[in-house]
């Protein structure tokens, strides 16, 4: 994490898009920073990818307003809950299908007819 730490200490935010590095704010990119990035580009990309692999979710609006960050987080939560409920619904429907034709259901149907 040495390369990323160096750039963060310079006040830069570093991201990657495929094999391209994105540094912000541009006004902080000096000739020294350019030379450092050119020399350590692959190391920086590897560090960024390692961080991405260990990150479950990151807010794309780090620099945005609290409202924008809150809205993004709310959308993420809604999507996660929606996916979880869909999985539970599928499992429930599968269990109901299996139960309908099972011996327990046949026995219950017979008892129902006897009443």
Give the up-direction half-sphere exposure of residue 100: CA atoms within 13 A in the CB hemisphere: 6
Q: What angle do CA 38, 59, 66 make, to 5 degrees?
A: 120
| pLDDT digit string, tens, across residues 8-27 | 999 999 988 888 999 999 99
30-45 per-position pLDDT tens digit = 999 999 999 999 999 9
pLDDT tens digits along 54-74: 665 555 555 667 777 777 778
- Cut 0.85: pTM above it: no
pLDDT over 70 at 92, yes or no: yes
Higher pLDDT, 47 or 111: 47
């Amino acid at each position: 994490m040495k390369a990323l730490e160096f750039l963060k200490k310079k006040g830069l935010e570093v991201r990657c898009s495929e094999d391209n590095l994105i540094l912000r704010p541009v006004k902080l990119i000096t000739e020294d920073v350019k030379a450092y990035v050119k020399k350590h580009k692959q190391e920086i990309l590897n560090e960024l990818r390692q961080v991405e692999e260990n990150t479950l979710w990151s807010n794309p609006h780090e620099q945005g307003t609290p409202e924008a960050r809150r809205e993004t987080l709310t959308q993420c939560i809604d999507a996660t809950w929606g996916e979880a409920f869909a999985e539970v619904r599928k499992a429930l429907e599968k269990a109901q299908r299996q139960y309908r034709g099972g011996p327990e259901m046949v026995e219950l149907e017979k008892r129902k007819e006897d009443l």
